[in-house]
Structure 1
């Protein structure tokens, strides 16, 4: 990645989310809505819904248990309960990361900055109060204790809104709200968004150069200061101070004094090296941080992971050809844990860290020499480690790893690195490589020292490996969470021949590769690992993307570099827009 590459920055807002629209279909369980074959019986949603027939029946039983005698009030309460099935239920039921018992009830006209349709103009919260205030509702979802609010003194026999709340104002302060540029509200009908055309990108953007150097990763210091960690592909991490905007300062980074040097452990080549770094949410207290890199099992004694081409996925590594001179699974993908503790200062003020590996979180052999992702980051609300893994390489993902639910290739994984398996069967490889809990890891079928979050998608889909959060990705290269709306988990996925894409990642989502490349059906040239039929999946298509020829008609695109939502006030015109880039040879 030297002078043979040129970088073209393509600044744009999401095509499906035209500025300032901030809502996209997502269910309260973090999954994308289902596609229904028939209309639900109790909640009259069809087409797209966050409920299946079983959940629809559960809502019906909950409604019947309320024993509401007033027909108009009963109709309103049915619609409120059924909002759980709305394709936008995640936004309706979650405010400031807190899940509510009922959706946000519209109590004012739609905001001029809202993405919600102008249908949401009635004061639905007042309508609910006026209609139901003196109606008995058993097991009321409007009880103050459920909302975490203080209403009227609660008696267990209270069933009416006037008994639970002192006034309509108190009730609507607790349950009501307006549709804004960052939220939607419920007005008794399914949520619809304004139809808007594709917005024009900004006419220009000022960039301020603050330094030189080639860095693959930049991560803000967890203490919220103006410091950040930078790493290069060779395996060094530096701690640098970012200058203030507009003052002509330069990046304070001393390349001769890295925060940590892992070059002895990292296998560096064009497609290999240190792929990602992540700092524990409690880094300031525990000093834990993680590096994702590649190793060569012929040169590194700790490079001993299982091969991802194995009998579980109907792949025989002995039948794979060499790739760029490398044997199958010679190169491996690693996540290792390190610490800034014990360096003579508090972790948040540490300027160096020890290169001694604390724990091997993950090690896996790669079938080919390309498309292995490698970014790691922590979820801002759940504290779990997300690991972006490509399909493992080969033209057209020949073994169909990305669609194989028993393979972690072509997936995003979600791991718990706080709950570590038992260390009672530890063994030591060398003075530097300690593999705690090896027997337990093998028994559980894991790839290293981590555990599985209980709410990972496998809890509803037993065919999935428990590590998997999302599937059907070719090479997710740079993902990020929107800090203001953590449900927006964005990934740039590198295309094969035609299309570069940006996806909004949801729990259990299938993003189509290798059945689709972006919105286009993909026809692989080789399929020793079998095919997935186009009718057997419900892919989540990209929210934006572009054809290769759109970047450079002569050369074409090499790869999208997934970006970030801009959340600075330095350029208010860019606020809330998603910025990404493309890297092509030239």
Structure 2
């Protein structure tokens, strides 16, 4: 996987590192992930050839190594003492201004060429930009080239971030705002200066460069020069310029400039402690911010549990005999189904609203009466469905999302210890064509407050009716619902709706009338555990279980098509049967997975695999994990970490890290003789509490990620601990306020600097 990650990194991006600014990476437009496995071999050959042609720079470097070492010692010593924070990493994502992911153009664009990479423009948008450019009648050739570059930034894969400024017509132009002279600064940071010098005295009709006042007032722009509005370069770049140090990214002509700080040390392993026995399928933090979480079983019970502090030696505290909510009489439970998801309203602490996703059996419950997902609107004839289970008929088992309410005797919902088992409202009900591959996770968007429901392709090998690519079917989709609006009777009776909810106005159907209005993303097989990055909520990660050969992690975007069943990961999929027809390769803009693995790499004895999507680690117990995406597999004890390099680029590398269980675990971990790794059983899901600690829910119990040193793993950034084994509160043990010998360190640093510059 490390080799594959490096190859993908090389093949996805041409990376140019500036010698003048070694912390800056300049990335041209990303190229699409290769589908043909032969492309991986070609990439390795090209990489090897390029490496063999690199000049030997070792001798010149030896001449200055001693002086550079002294300089580094000086800088590092001062940095260790400095009270100022380091520049934060970039917060970008390959995303277009309409919220969609960039795609490879179906044909070469005539005006804003993407050089074979992904773009945010189709042929119509490209033609519109060309028309806008021609109407400007820029007579100066050099200025015309600059203006074209600025206009074509709308097609840049990072245009959503580039145009996230006060000016919506011009991208953020790279401009070094520091006091350093221009000879010392990186040329990529001076693009705003170049625009000014090249075009300041050139007449531009309908210029995109308008002052914020003009844009706000929507004043008509006529023939103008930059000097008519701005007197100096400094004034001009104050309106349109900025550094990637100050913003997510900036535009430097044909490329995007990222801030690329040195990464944290890689984790040596994942250290766990066991907090409870037995299998649980879902975990959700209490919305009141306390040290409590909700747990649920597949059979249909939900509990409220208290999480012990790290290092306390305690276990999860809850009474299994007293569940918060018991729905076992409503939930149909077998190895492939049951209570699949729980979600709490963003305002649960005041309104007490909670939502549950589960399977029901229409032969056992009168309320299990949803419409079959195989219907004529979706081009599917239910009579042609053959049962894949001798004991089950098509659409006998149904997907349900229901609303319940916490029982409270006062206005303080946080004190509630149970919920009313009577359903408040049926949000969603839909019959499944087959058994299995339902998905069923629900969660609320951290910024929009809408309810997201992950739905699989409905079961049966290879999605024979091609539901995942069918825009009139909700199978194989992520749907996005508004559950807070008051729905009129006419909407409830509308057969296109599956329950009691509103449609968000900005769902993709507004731009694609062929899509069912509930759909947010399509082309998924069996989305199993999707989560937003709590620090970067535009990053929506989703593990999607494959079929025969590949498991993948996708970065979900508005209207994104993730390829199933045209593709299985990076491979073309060849279905065993296709009564529902096929989708051609050329008819979709499939978004490739950002991470994944082949089945052959996992548990060869079992011969199968099923991905468990996880979280971006934002906890404090293991600093070396911070910012890395964790995911695992149902049938394996392997754990993967995925890292975006550089952050904001959309380019990921992955690695496998070993697991271990601390000897101080409150409940002893099981292990197999001769193996240093704990025996966790089947991996079910991940969980996260309000402290951002990560939990692993497995068939053997519930485990929490703890400090790596407890398992003998080293992480230089790990905090010191007190004598009782707990992490001290207050300032970090690495903070300037608690470092011993600060004055000595500063004096030594100044002395070394004096020697260096003398």
Deviations 1:19-69 (A, max 9, x none): 988755321222222322444344343432101232234334555666767
Cα gap change, 1:155 to 1:441, in 2 (>3 Å)? closer
Task: Say which of 153, 177, 180 aligns to 2:242.
Answer: 177
Residue 125 of structure 2 is aligned to residue 55 of structure 1: yes
Give the equivalent residue in structure 1 for 2:112. 43
Task: Say which of 568, 576, 579 aligns to 2:619.
Answer: 568
Is the Cα contact below 8 Å between 2:442 and 2:454 reproduced in 1? yes
Deviations 1:289-320 (A, max 9, x none): 21111111122221110011222233333333
Cα gap change, 1:294 to 1:221, in 2 (>3 Å)? same
Give the equivalent residue in structure 2 for 1:428. none
SS in 2 for 1:584: coil
Cα gap change, 1:124 to 1:164, in 2 (>3 Å)? same
How far apart are the structure 1 equivalents of 2:536 and 2:236? 26
Residue 592 of structure 2 is aligned to residue 541 of structure 1: yes
Q: Residues 475-486 of structure 1 correspond to what in structure 2 (within 5 A)?
A: 475-486=526-537
How far apart are the structure 2 equivalents of 1:218 and 1:502? 21
Bigger CA drift: 369-378 or 448-457?
448-457
Is the Cα contact below 8 Å between 2:173 and 2:250 reproduced in 1? yes
Is the Cα contact below 8 Å between 1:343 and 1:353 reproduced in 2? no
Give the equivalent residue in structure 2 for 1:236. 301
Q: Residues 90-129 of structure 1 correspond to what in structure 2 (within 5 A)?
A: 90-94=160-164, 100-108=168-176, 121-129=188-196
Give the equivalent residue in structure 2 for 1:219. 284
Larger Rg over CA atoms: 2
Task: Say which of 81, 89, 97 aligns to 2:151.
Answer: 81
Is the Cα contact below 8 Å between 1:109 and 1:123 reproduced in 2? no
> Cα distance, 1:168 vs. partner?
5.2
Higher relative contact order (CA 8 A, sep 6+): 2
Normalising by structure 1, report the TM-score: 0.82
How far apart are the structure 2 equivalents of 1:243 and 1:142? 57
> Cα distance, 1:216 vs. partner?
1.1
Give the equivalent residue in structure 2 for 1:247. 312
Bigger CA drift: 526-535 or 174-183?
174-183
Cα gap change, 1:211 to 1:169, in 2 (>3 Å)? farther
SS in 2 for 1:35: coil
Deviations 1:146-181 (A, max 9, x none): 899xxxx99999977677678755654554333369
> Cα distance, 1:276 vs. partner?
0.8
Task: Say which of 344, 351, 356 aligns to 1:291.
Answer: 356
Is the Cα contact below 8 Å between 1:23 and 1:182 reproduced in 2? no
Bigger CA drift: 473-482 or 264-273?
264-273
Is the Cα contact below 8 Å between 1:13 and 1:578 reproduced in 2? no
SS in 2 for 1:208: strand
Give the equivalent residue in structure 2 for 1:7. none
How far apart are the structure 2 equivalents of 1:448 and 1:442? 9
Is the Cα contact below 8 Å between 1:21 and 1:181 reproduced in 2? no
Deviations 1:516-561 (A, max 9, x none): 2111222222222222233333322211111112111211343110
Give the equivalent residue in structure 1 for 2:340. 275
Deviations 1:392-434 (A, max 9, x none): 0012112111111211111111112222421xxxxxxxxxxxx
How far apart are the structure 2 equivalents of 1:173 and 1:243? 51
> Cα distance, 1:261 vs. partner?
2.0
> Cα distance, 1:73 vs. partner?
4.7
Q: Residues 520-539 of structure 1 correspond to what in structure 2 (within 5 A)?
A: 520-539=571-590
Is the Cα contact below 8 Å between 2:539 and 2:556 reproduced in 1? yes
> Cα distance, 1:384 vs. partner?
1.8
SS in 2 for 1:266: coil
SS in 1 for 2:591: coil
Task: Say which of 456, 460, 463 aligns to 1:390.
Answer: 456
> Cα distance, 1:100 vs. partner?
5.0
Cα gap change, 1:140 to 1:533, in 2 (>3 Å)? closer
Q: Residues 357-506 of structure 1 correspond to what in structure 2 (within 5 A)?
A: 357-422=423-488, 437=489, 440-506=491-557
Give the equivalent residue in structure 1 for 2:696. none
Cα gap change, 1:554 to 1:60, in 2 (>3 Å)? same
Q: Which has the higher helix share?
A: 2
Is the Cα contact below 8 Å between 1:277 and 1:292 reproduced in 2? yes
Return 5+ residue gaps in structure 1 as ranges.
1-9, 111-117, 423-436
> Cα distance, 1:15 vs. partner?
9.0
> Cα distance, 1:280 vs. partner?
2.0
How far apart are the structure 1 equivalents of 2:553 and 2:246? 22
- Root-mean-square deviation (CA, aligned residues, Å) is 3.7
Give the equivalent residue in structure 1 for 2:421. 355
SS in 1 for 2:541: strand
Give the equivalent residue in structure 2 for 1:431. none
Normalising by structure 2, report the TM-score: 0.65
Is the Cα contact below 8 Å between 1:372 and 1:389 reproduced in 2? yes
Cα gap change, 1:318 to 1:576, in 2 (>3 Å)? same
> Cα distance, 1:225 vs. partner?
3.2
How far apart are the structure 2 equivalents of 1:404 and 1:133? 52
Is the Cα contact below 8 Å between 1:396 and 1:496 reproduced in 2? yes
Give the equivalent residue in structure 1 for 2:212. 144
How far apart are the structure 2 equivalents of 1:388 and 1:157? 47
